Amino acid sequence: MNRALGVCYYPEHWPEEMWAQDAAEMVAAGISWVRIGEFAWSRIEPEPGQFAFDWLDRAIDVLSRAGLKIVLGTPTCTPPRWMLERFPDMLAVDAQGHPRGFGSRRHYCFSHAGYRRASGEIAEVLGDRYGRDGRVHAWQIDNEYGCHDTILSYSEAARDAFRSWLAERYGTIDALNEAWGNVFWSMEYRSFDEIDLPNLTVTQPNPSHELAFRRFSSDQVVAYHEVQVAALRAHTDAPLIHNYMGRVLDFDHFEVGASIDIASWDSYPIGFLSDRLDGSAEHKARYLQQGDPDMQAFHHDLYRAVGRDGRWWVMEQQPGPVNWAPHNPAPLPGMVRLWSWEAFAHGAEVVSYFRWRQAPFAQEQMHAGLKRPDNAPAPGLAEAAQVGREIAEMPQIALQQAPVALIFDYPSDWAWATLPQGEDFSYFRLMLDAYRALRRCGFSIDILPSTVTDLSAYALVLAPGLATVPDALQEALAQTVALVGPRSNAVTEELRIPIPMGPALRGLDVTATRVESLPPHVTRAVIGGGTVQHWVEDLDGTAETLLQAETGQAVLKGNRRLQYLGAWPDADLWERIIHGLAKEAGLTVLTLPEGLRLRDTATHRFAFNYGPDLVEFQGKTIRSADVSWWGI
Ligand code: GAL
């Protein structure tokens, strides 16, 4: 496995006289990749059809002469102002019906046919010029689909495209009315042209309508993306990459990933802890300057599954305080290095820092880089350089398949976001809780899509919250020890209650006959230890009751190979459940000090101390914000 460092650089932000020195310093820090261009459309095509490539040619020349490999971005997430004259109706529209205007970025609707064409054209122009240029070693398409909440757009373009999509999916309007149950509240349509987008309704729209819109919106991202893929493939054999985000689930990343070569993601551990994670005030204080101990690893494992043949990068790594979270503390000394090594231990080929130098202007002037705005080194630079030296010295690390898998499914998130039943029911939170529980027991984990059909190589598989369990997956689950639930196989793909009611799993007589959602801080004790919270099901059926709440409700039912969990466990209960499953699966459970996490490769065990205190583990002493590894 190769390992390398990269950095995000904006030559258009700096006087040309600085470029050569910047490039030399990057190389001196052990950086070998540089990503450029992804926001530079107004400099590449200042007027429609008039291209200015001289500066970009020179930037590529200077950077590659210094020994850097270039990732060139297509600039389609920042269409220039003149694009709006060409397509006044290209803006995305929010759920309140307001256009999302020019003056920042991502101001386009995925469904706008004209803008989609224009995106293909600029990719084509860039591909034509640089596709066979040996200095451009990889391409990034667009930047962070979904950033700033931009997947769902309620524009006229989206409405028209949605109607065609519905006609294609359902064939006849009667089939749609039947599938959605539109007899309810006289919502029946006489033709596809009568169907609007599911916003601005008096109260909640039909959940089937909303889920269909979410499926459609995801398909629009895929279709938009594939236009650029096709344009670039015609000109280049270099790998195509997209940079995904943390906890953005509004489109199916597996489907976007299917047409490109490498998945990458943008990792901002401290920003996420503040902005995007549930958790107690105590948890957030403890990890304030480190980030949540499982959030990064979760996404590393997820994007390893999204990348073709497991290929993935961190395209943007937080190097210091960011600007966009409610509060923006600095990383503890050591964390930039720890995050970088954690990514490599999970299989990243490249960890690329965002950004080289902090910009003294515009929206991100408060966002740290590896260098300060005045060009002095920022604290992150020395840590990056240390990682640069270490990866040069470290022998190859071979990855291996993890013993445990977690099934992750984007449409399940859309289903539960549409029909939460309890306002804090979050698919992501449920998945992260399950993942965290496994990691606290010391396991390395592979995340897999719900389309997987062979699980025979895994000792244990978890599929919580999987809204609809495909038949092939049910069969695959029978090859291993598996935990399903809560809320798994609970609805059909149209978001209706199936009859017979779920989970109706093959070989397991369990039915969830009633569900309750509970407000935060309400817990119900489970006999023998732990509690359930948020979500509790009444379970019926002949399967053996393995765990029971003090209310008498069965919490876990099943047999030695397949178990159904009918509630949302707290950390202690998760631990009990995992211990039980691990025993059936023949896996050894470890007890880790608080904040310590492991990752096993074929050759090494890595240990990451996210906690504030020094820990002792397996004969090693690991300081706070430090990483340690040893051969296994
Ligand atoms: C990412 C984005 C970058 C930059 C960065 C700041 O979401 O891709 O362009 O905005 O965040 O943290």
**pLDDT tens, 15-47?**
999 999 999 999 999 999 999 999 999 999 999
**At 553, which CATH number?**
3.40.50.880
Residue 248 near ligand 1, beta carbon < 6 Å:
no
Closest CA to 231 of 138, 130, 120: 120
pTM: 0.98
**Per-residue pLDDT at 79 exceeds 70:** yes
Cα separation values, 385 from 28, 345, 370, Å: 8, 18, 10
pLDDT for res 2: 77
Residues 445 and 581 in one domain: yes
Residues 535 and 500 in one domain: yes
Average pLDDT of 526-546?
98
pLDDT-above-90 percentage for the chain: 98
Average pLDDT of 153-171?
98
Average pLDDT of 312-341?
98
**Could you tell me if 408 and 448 are in contact, meaning their C-beta atoms sit under 8 angstroms apart?**
yes
**At 34, which CATH number?**
3.20.20.80
**Per-residue pLDDT at 396 exceeds 90:** no
Residues 410 and 533 in one domain: yes
pLDDT for res 231: 98
Q: How does pLDDT run across 422-468, given as a tens digit for each residue?
A: 998 999 999 999 999 999 999 999 999 999 999 999 999 999 999 99
Residues 305 and 281 in one domain: yes
Does residue 248 fall inside a structural domain? yes
The yes-or-no answer on residue 144 being catalytic is yes
Residues 490 and 512 in one domain: yes
Cis check: omega of the bond before 355, within 30 degrees of 0 = yes
**Per-residue pLDDT at 251 exceeds 70:** yes
Does residue 215 fall inside a structural domain? no
DSSP 252: -
Say how many Å lie between the CA of residue 391 and the centre of ligand 1.
25
Residues 456 and 364 in one domain: no
- Residue 114 CA neighbour count, 13 Å, CB half: 11
Residues 579 and 600 in one domain: no
Say how many Å lie between the CA of residue 370 and the centre of ligand 1.
14
Residue 354 near ligand 1, beta carbon < 6 Å:
yes
**Which structural domain range is residue 621 located in?**
596-631
Joined tokens for residue 329: 């503390």
Q: How does pLDDT run across 264-301, given as a tens digit for each residue?
A: 999 999 999 998 998 999 999 999 999 999 999 999 99
Does residue 312 fall inside a structural domain? yes
Residues 58 and 86 in one domain: yes
239 Cβ contact partners less than 8 Å away, ≥ 6 residues apart: 137, 138, 139, 260, 261, 262, 311
250 Cβ contact partners less than 8 Å away, ≥ 6 residues apart: 146, 149, 151, 152, 214, 217, 218, 414
User: Which of 38, 316, 342, 575 is an active site residue?
Assistant: 316
**Per-residue pLDDT at 604 exceeds 70:** yes
Does residue 319 fall inside a structural domain? yes
Q: How does pLDDT run across 218-250, given as a tens digit for each residue?
A: 999 999 999 999 999 999 999 999 999 999 999
**Angle at Cα 564 formed by Cα 559 and Cα 566, nearest 5°?**
135
Does residue 18 fall inside a structural domain? yes
Does residue 58 fall inside a structural domain? yes
Total number of domains in the chain: 3
List the beta strands (DSSP E) in 389-519.
404-408, 445-449, 460-463, 481-484, 511-517
**Per-residue pLDDT at 589 exceeds 70:** yes
Residues 44 and 130 in one domain: yes
Residue 143 in marked binding region:
yes
| Mean pLDDT across the chain | 97
The yes-or-no answer on residue 616 being catalytic is no
Question: Judging by beta carbons within 10 Å of its beta carbon (0-12, 13-18, 19+), is residue 261 exposed, middle or buried?
Answer: middle
Average pLDDT of 331-349?
98
pLDDT for res 1: 60
Q: Point out the domain boundary residue: 366, 393, 420.
A: 393
Residues 235 and 255 in one domain: yes
Residues 447 and 313 in one domain: no
DSSP 3-state assignment of 224? helix
Does residue 209 fall inside a structural domain? no
Closest CA to 564 of 463, 473, 450, 493: 463
C-alpha span between 362 and 323 (Å, rounded):
12
Does residue 92 fall inside a structural domain? yes
Residue 367 near ligand 1, beta carbon < 6 Å:
yes
Residues 64 and 131 in one domain: yes
User: Which of 25, 38, 124, 144 is an active site residue?
Assistant: 144
Q: Point out the domain boundary residue: 344, 370, 393.
A: 393
